[in-house]
Chain A
Amino acid sequence: MSILILAEHDGKHIKQSTRQAVAAAGAWQLPIHLVVTGANSADIAREASEIASVAKVLHADAAHFEHPLAEDVAALLVQLGADYKVILSAHTAFSKSVLPRVAALLDVGMVSDAVSITAPATYVRPIYAGNVLSTVESSDAIQVVTIRATSFAAAAAGGSAEVATVSAPASSGLSRWIKEDKTVSDRPELSSARVVVSGGRSLAERFDELLEPLAHRFGGALGATRAAVDAGFAPNDIQVGQTGTIVAPELYFAIGISGAMQHLAGMKDSKIIVAINHDPDAPIFQHADFGLVANLFDAVPELTTALNQ
Chain B
Amino acid sequence: MKVLVAVKHVVDYNIKPRVKPDGSDVDIAGVKLSINPFDEIAVEEAVRLKERGVATEVIAVTIGKTNSQDSLRHALAMGVDKAVLIETDVELQPLGVAKLLKYVVEREQPSLIILGKQAIDDDLGQTGQMLAALANVGQGTFASVIDIKGDEIEVTREIDGGTDVVALKLPAVVTTDLRLNEPRFIKLPNLMMAKKKPIETIKAADLGIDISPRLKQLKVADPEPRKPGIKVANVAELVEKLRLAEVL
Chain B positions 154 through 169: 1 when the CB is less than 8 Å from some CB of chain A, otherwise 0: 1001111111111111
The reply to whether the CB of A52 lies closer than 8 angstroms to some CB of chain B is no
Name the residue on B nearest A136 (C-beta).
Answer: B215
Q: Give A100 to B175 CA distance when docked, in angstroms.
A: 13
Answer whether A177 and B229 are a contact pair too, CB < 8 Å, given A290-B242, A306-B235.
no
Q: Give A132 to B248 CA distance when docked, in angstroms.
A: 32
Contact, CB under 8 Å: A138 / B215: yes
The reply to whether the CB of A186 lies closer than 8 angstroms to some CB of chain B is no
The A/B interface has a contact count, at CB < 8 Å, of 244
Contact, CB under 8 Å: A303 / B235: yes
Range, interface on chain A: 35 or more
Q: How far is the CB of A175 from chain B (nearest CB, A)?
A: 4
Question: Do most interface residues of chain A lie in helix, strand or loop, or is the interface mixed?
Answer: mixed
Name the residue on A nearest B215 (C-beta).
Answer: A136
Q: Give A70 to B131 CA distance when docked, in angstroms.
A: 13
The reply to whether the CB of B205 lies closer than 8 angstroms to some CB of chain A is no
Name the residue on B nearest A93 (C-beta).
Answer: B159
Chain B positions 116 through 156: 1 when the CB is less than 8 Å from some CB of chain A, otherwise 0: 01101111111111111110111111101000000000100
| Beta-carbon contacts under 8 Å, A74-114 to B | 74, 92-94, 96-105, 107-113
Chain B contacts for A122, CB-based, 8 A: 218
Contact, CB under 8 Å: B133 / A132: no
The reply to whether the CB of B238 lies closer than 8 angstroms to some CB of chain A is yes
Looking at the complex, which one of A133, A135, A175 makes contact with B166 (CB distance below 8 Å)? A175
Answer whether A274 and B17 are a contact pair too, CB < 8 Å, given A176-B167, A177-B166.
no
Looking at the complex, which one of A136, A138, A292 makes contact with B234 (CB distance below 8 Å)? A292
Question: Do most interface residues of chain B lie in helix, strand or loop, or is the interface mixed?
Answer: mixed
Contact, CB under 8 Å: B245 / A272: yes
Answer whether A97 and B129 are a contact pair too, CB < 8 Å, given A189-B161, A243-B178, A261-B16.
yes
Answer whether A182 and B161 are a contact pair too, CB < 8 Å, given A96-B141, A110-B94, A127-B121.
yes
Contact, CB under 8 Å: B214 / A138: yes
Range, interface on chain B: 35 or more
| Beta-carbon contacts under 8 Å, A224-279 to B | 226, 236-237, 242-243, 245, 250-251, 261-262, 268, 271-274
| Beta-carbon contacts under 8 Å, B216-238 to A | 216-223, 226-227, 229-232, 234-236, 238
Contact, CB under 8 Å: A291 / B232: yes
Chain A contacts for B217, CB-based, 8 A: 134-136
Looking at the complex, which one of A108, A191, A306 makes contact with B236 (CB distance below 8 Å)? A306
- Which stretch from A43-51, A54-62, A153-161, A281-289 is at the chain B interface? A281-289
B residues near A (Cβ < 8 Å) are: 11, 13, 16-17, 19, 26, 93-95, 98, 117-118, 120-134, 136-142, 144, 154, 157-169, 172, 177-179, 213-223, 226-227, 229-232, 234-236, 238-239, 241-242, 245, 247-248
A residues near B (Cβ < 8 Å) are: 67, 69-71, 74, 92-94, 96-105, 107-113, 122, 125-140, 172-183, 189, 191, 195, 226, 236-237, 242-243, 245, 250-251, 261-262, 268, 271-274, 280, 285, 287-294, 299, 302-303, 306-307
Q: Given known contacts A103-B130, A129-B123, A177-B164, what 13 new A-B pairs fall within 8 Å (CB)?
A: A70-B141, A104-B129, A133-B222, A134-B217, A136-B215, A136-B218, A139-B214, A237-B163, A243-B118, A273-B229, A274-B242, A285-B229, A290-B230
